[in-house]
Chains A and B, each alone.
Chain A
């Protein structure tokens, strides 16, 4: 509930083009904005995530991570494995983004207020805490993320999204592209979670952390 349009945003928007909406003469409607700020349709108002679309929270995501992820999707490094259902949904959305669009989106997402996601799973937090020790090495003790290691924040993210991605990493649906450097690390690390319950436990523990 805030924020006014920024100068950079205005400049970025003016670089996009708009086209008159076409119906008959005299019909109501406005010009279609053909910009690339369509993230909230799937990812929810102010990027808070939408479980019905399987689209994770963007608000609070680090700019460097968001940029890398969009670039990876654009390049097909992510979202091209045949079993990665959600990634496949995302990949074409990013495929046509320009560097300028990505910068604009990152800037835009940065405007959104960080509000931690609601917990939807209820695993064994104690067991999850133990398992998290290996995660903490990269993602930080409070799952706050570590840019130097290329590890994004986990705290505050939608738990259902983290569960999906841990499953995907374990199954090799994510992180197996040969150019997905960080993903391949994560793929290896995900094997330390021996089953689905272990995934749910560790995510339940992450739910207890604040960014």
Chain B
């Protein structure tokens, strides 16, 4: 049952998160839409055949090639890998996962529903440029369910290690937080700052938010699902999970915030039907012969009148001379490629750290989660595996591909053997689903730190939380083209890495600069 929490304790908590001033100042933001909700209008001056070398085929590179080709530029893309897309990588039957030292070949059933987005996996509604290209290139989208209240929360320290439904956890947490807020509203400084009507509105919301009873106390809610009945008979509420028990796990930090659209999450996200790489191929198939695969760049020399790029193909070194170069090779790999960039540019390139994300997945013999009333969303576990995702598509189909681990920091997975990685996610997963091990077949793992031609996930700029002045400077250095000829693009060249939207916007930013230069050239 509930354990009372003193008002003092609660106000201390509030203080820790900036007190009440933020609440009272909130009005200022009304009426504004974030800039990112607008897709860019690209209007490049038509151009007859200026040559552009594009290094890499990540989404920033493909965006550049697509737009510049439409404007009449003569683009050539050099890709070190056998496939386009970089970290937009979908695994399905037959896919080669070229982790260095740990090659895998996906042996899942050959079925269009059975795929796994090993890199980018979700499209928020506000990532307008991604959506714009999906529309333009006719990439069919479907809803991706990011949050499911029937998914689980599991922590060895909480509820004896037994999983609890997200709804049980989050409804109770919401209830108690509301109860504390309601108590403080009656007495605290808040009420003197608000009109009676405002207080009433706020209190009404708080009550509704927590599903509090008439005494403004949380005594359970049917939002967590019924304890019994609910359809033919009156529903009863489930037992309340005591606040002190809820606080035994820190997973609330994840569980309570998965529906925050602004940060790129949200209850409703989108995914292309058939895999995220459908976006990549929508571009790449249209650019076709312009892309050279298995063509790693070996030198980039910026000249007064253009850029000379050396690359290897079939064991032979070739030279590509272009007027301009757009480069999305990961910064940590570019530092290993001979170049004549200025010192401050090279220093900035070498400063960016490589992200260390890790994902694992398996083909499930049956859609066992559906038998547990789960139809998508995320289970949160307090283990390095962190998350389990259930495919929201092909509901009631035969099989499905489950994300078994998603660790942003990579933990020690990169160093672990394939066998140990698999055992790790099975071990943690079976605490949530008793039949997990039995259901999992043909597991795969993606340690981005060791993927060939990538060696890392999203760029990591800031080393101490907020960006330092020096970091801001280095960022600006990399945003300026070398000699007006060489542009660094990709999510590494943005302040919000790890998103396709950022990568696309970096390409737009660079192309706008190019366009301005070209327009100002004497006719």
Which residues of A does B touch, CB under 8 Å? 1-6, 9, 19-24, 26-34, 38, 40-46, 48-53, 55, 88-89, 92-96
Contact = CB atoms under 8 A, between A and B. Distances in A.
Nearest to A55: B336
A23 B101 contact: no
Nearest to A5: B315
Contact of A44 (B319, B336, B414): B336
B236 interface: no
Contacts of A27: 281, 284-285
Contact of B338 (A33, A42, A48): A48
Interface in B159-181: none
Contact of B335 (A23, A38, A41, A51): A51
Contacts of A5: 314-316
Contact of B288 (A6, A22, A28, A53): A28
B474 to A, nearest CB: 14
B294 A95 contact: no
A31 B101 contact: no
B317 A3 contact: yes
Contact of A24 (B98, B101, B281, B338): B281
Contacts of A34: 96, 98, 103
Nearest to A82: B415
A32 B98 contact: yes
B217 interface: no
Contact of B93 (A22, A32, A43, A95): A22
A21 B101 contact: no
Interface stretch (B140-148, B188-196, B223-231, B295-303): B295-303
Given A19-B96, A28-B284, A52-B331, 11 more contacts: A3-B317, A6-B315, A22-B93, A26-B285, A27-B284, A28-B288, A30-B294, A34-B98, A40-B336, A48-B338, A50-B335
Interface stretch (B18-26, B82-90, B205-213, B511-519): B82-90
Contacts of B350: 51-52
Contacts of B417: 92
Nearest to B314: A5
Contact of A23 (B80, B281, B310, B331): B281
Interface string B120-133: 00000000000000
Given A41-B455, A88-B415, A23 B298 contact: no
B508 interface: no
A30 B82 contact: yes
B235 interface: no
A50 B415 CA distance: 20
A103 to B, nearest CB: 17
Contacts of B82: 21, 29-33
A120 B277 CA distance: 41
A46 B287 CA distance: 29
Classify chain B's interface size.
35 or more
Interface in B276-293: 277-278, 281, 284-285, 287-288, 291, 293
Contact of A28 (B102, B291, B296, B349): B291
A76 B278 CA distance: 41
A82 B381 CA distance: 27
Nearest to A10: B315
Contact of A93 (B101, B105, B294, B338): B101
Nearest to A115: B338
Contacts of A4: 315-316
Contacts of A30: 82, 293-294
A32 B96 contact: yes
B299 A38 contact: no
A199 B352 CA distance: 27
B136 to A, nearest CB: 18
B336 A53 contact: yes
Contacts of A28: 84, 281, 284-285, 287-288, 291, 293
Contacts of B414: 89
Given A5-B316, A51-B350, A33 B294 contact: yes
Contacts of B83: 21, 23, 29, 32
Nearest to A1: B317
B436 to A, nearest CB: 27
Contacts of B281: 23-24, 27-28
CB-CB nearest 9 A-B residue pairs: A44-B336, A50-B336, A5-B315, A22-B94, A52-B332, A32-B96, A45-B298, A93-B101, A92-B101
B274 interface: yes
Contacts of A32: 82-83, 96, 98
Contacts of A20: 94
Nearest to B311: A45
Nearest to B284: A28
